[in-house]
Amino acid sequence: MTAGLPIANSFEDITRQWLESTAHTVRDLTHHKKNRRFELYVFPEIGQIPIGDVKSPDIFAVIRPLIIKKQLETAHRVRADISAAFAYAIAHGFTGYDPAQAVGAQIPAQKVKHNAAVTEPKQVGQLLRDIGQYQGTFIVQCALRLSPYLFQRPGEIRQMEWKDIDMAAKEWRYFVTKTETQHIVPLSAQVIEILEAIKPLTGVGRYVFPSSRGDGRPMSDGTIRTALKTLGYERDEMSAHGFRTTASTLLNEQGWSPDAIERQLCHMPKDQVRAAYNRAQYLDERRRMMQAWADYLDALKNGAQVIQFPRQA
């Protein structure tokens, strides 16, 4: 690389030419994600090799670590990106064939995981930063930002009603049809801030996150999933339901009471007597936990090297 630029006719040089030529055809965030994959996985390994000298084993050496880590969706996408760069190179006379084609068959087929979730703190931080860049409607932006903080079921969040929100008490109280019980969700300062921001827009209606169709219904099922996909998160990486898994995994690792976590997730018995008792059980601890969780997420989003936050007795 000379003066900060890639070597002429190197793989990186030609690939960046291709990326620039296609930038206007995709969303800015999609273009950014593609660039980031090349810079993270590909350029450090084969970027300086003349593009005509790149062989299939070179590309497989890039992909193999992803296969070993079982990041199969990423492996397939990286290989496809490399192949697209070679298609550009072939069309412009820089090389005569695509060595990435032979690598495709070496990547195992993807096995879709239900409720896939990001659980490694550094990756959670990146996810939160990506959510902050989401360019959809303001209503969807707010629902997406709220999801990691609350980690209730996606259907419950999209059907959240203003009548169930008590801003003064910082509580969301609603009936959970899945467990047939009333549930209390303590609201952190961060959640209150999001609700206050959206209230002037939707507060006169029934739902906090109404449908964009204006038909009096809540946000449609799959909206958050679509938003995550727009941000580059495939269904085997992160799902709308995965925010629950993320919270449960990290909160348990950090020493919070498993019973309090289960109550917050509303994994509760259908027996009415037990449900009435369990509804408010561990509520004081859950209030502290939900605020600490929100603060922890903010620290990750800001890039802090956070290992854990202290559990308050």
pLDDT of residue 30: 81
**56 φ, ψ (degrees, to nearest 5):** -55, -45
Range of the domain at 23: 11-104
pLDDT of residue 282: 82
Q: Which helix (H) or strand (E) holds 275?
A: helix 272-278
110 occurs within a structural domain: no
114 occurs within a structural domain: no
CATH number, domain with residue 156: 1.10.443.10
pLDDT of residue 280: 61
Q: Does residue 128 sit in the same domain as residue 98?
A: no
How many domains does the chain contain in total? 2
Tokens of 63: 């992909």
CATH number, domain with residue 62: 1.10.150.130
Closest CA to 140 of 209, 187, 233: 209
pLDDT of residue 182: 84
180 within 8 A of 278, measured Cβ to Cβ: no
**113 φ, ψ (degrees, to nearest 5):** -95, 130
Q: Does residue 283 sit in the same domain as residue 169?
A: yes
pLDDT of residue 196: 97
pLDDT of residue 312: 47
Q: Does residue 163 sit in the same domain as residue 287?
A: yes
275 occurs within a structural domain: yes
Give the count of beta carbons closer than 10 Å to the beta carbon of residue 236.
Answer: 17
Q: What is this structure's pTM?
A: 0.61
259 within 8 A of 249, measured Cβ to Cβ: no
Q: Does residue 183 sit in the same domain as residue 126?
A: yes
- Supply angle C-alpha 235, 236, 239, rounded to 5: 50
Q: In what order do the strands lie in the sheet with 171-176?
A: 165-166, 171-176, 181-186
Tens of pLDDT along 1-58? Answer: 444 567 889 999 999 999 999 998 877 878 898 999 999 999 999 999 999 999 999 9
- Residues 121 and 279: their CA atoms lie apart, in Å, by 30
Residue type at 171 in one-letter notation: E
pLDDT of residue 36: 92
Q: Does residue 68 sit in the same domain as residue 161?
A: no
pLDDT of residue 306: 58
Q: Which residues of the chain have pLDDT under 50?
A: 1-3, 270, 273-274, 309-313
